[in-house]
Amino acid sequence: MEDLVTARGMVLKHSPYGDYDWVVTILTAERGKITAFAKGARKVGNRLCGTVEPFCFGSFKLYASRTSYNIVEADIENYFEGFRQDLETACYGTFFLEIASYYTRENNEDVDILNLLYLSLRALLKDNISNVLTRCVFELRALQIEGEYPGEPSDMNLSDSARYALSFIVSSPMEKLFTFKVSDEVLSEIALVVRLFRKRFIDRKLLSMEMLSAFDACL
């Protein structure tokens, strides 16, 4: 028995399946991370063509069976076209998608990670905050959401400004996260903390880091 459900979320990745289909990973508000088939979506003119690309955010109508989801319709609210026009922001955005995929699990609710991902991608497309700071904010807040943020490292001699920034990132309302700037010196301190935590809490190589390292010397 199949049920028709609607889930709002963002496409994290897709891979080809068969001759014309995509297998799509979507981070949704209602059902967490799910894997769904988009049948015929690789055919030009198919109703799903272009709607199941990474970064697509919107509502997905799905048939849900015991073993799989099949996408019937997609109403995309934001295609994040900017990532298709600028290689640097695309590399940052792809890194964010991979981090979000790493921290989330199939069918576990992760609304906060979805909201953080959406706001972080929007911040990348604006000029009011640097891409490196946006990345640091995204990584630190993701740790906090997942309950893994250990607090500032006791063995690092951080400036008061860096300590304040770390506290702001993990405790402020999400809509305020990308409303501040820091000096280059403070950003270097924050980036060191982020690098330390990434090595501690992520136990595999992130494929997107190789390309991102060409633009982000603080990785």
pLDDT at 3: 80
pLDDT at 14: 96
pLDDT at 2: 60
pLDDT at 68: 84
Q: What is the pLDDT of residues 48-91, one digit of tens each?
A: 999 999 999 999 999 988 778 999 999 999 999 999 899 999 99
Quote the pTM value.
0.95
Asked, for residue 218, whether it belongs to a domain, the answer is no
The answer to whether residues 27 and 100 touch, using CB atoms and an 8 Å cutoff, is: yes
* CA separation for the pair 100, 92 (Å, rounded): 12
C-alpha distances (whole Å) from 133 to each of 21, 64, 124, 147, 192 are 37, 39, 10, 21, 12
Residue 27 belongs to domain spanning: 3-78
pLDDT at 64: 87
Number of domains in the chain: 2
Count CB-CB contacts under 10 A for residue 11: 25
Largest Cα separation within the chain, whole Å, is 60
Judgement on whether residues 91 and 66 belong to the same structural domain of the protein: no
CATH of residue 48's domain is: 2.40.50.140
Looking at the DSSP bridge assignments, the partners of residue 81 are none
pLDDT at 66: 78
pLDDT at 107: 79
pLDDT at 218: 93
Judgement on whether residues 49 and 92 belong to the same structural domain of the protein: no
Judgement on whether residues 74 and 97 belong to the same structural domain of the protein: no
pLDDT at 67: 79
- Collect the ranges in the chain with pLDDT lower than 50: 1
Judgement on whether residues 42 and 120 belong to the same structural domain of the protein: no
Judgement on whether residues 93 and 25 belong to the same structural domain of the protein: no
Asked, for residue 217, whether it belongs to a domain, the answer is no
Following DSSP, what letter does each residue of the chain receive, concatenated? --EEEEEEEEEEEEEEETTTEEEEEEEETTTEEEEEEETTTTSTT-TTTTTSSTT-EEEEEEEE-SS-EEEEEEEEEE--GGGGT-HHHHHHHHHHHHHHHHH--BT---HHHHHHHHHHHHHHTSSSS-HHHHHHHHHHHHHHHTT----S-TTS---HHHHHHHHHHHHS-GGGTTS----HHHHHHHHHHHHHHHHHH--S--TTHHHHTTT-TT-
pLDDT at 1: 44
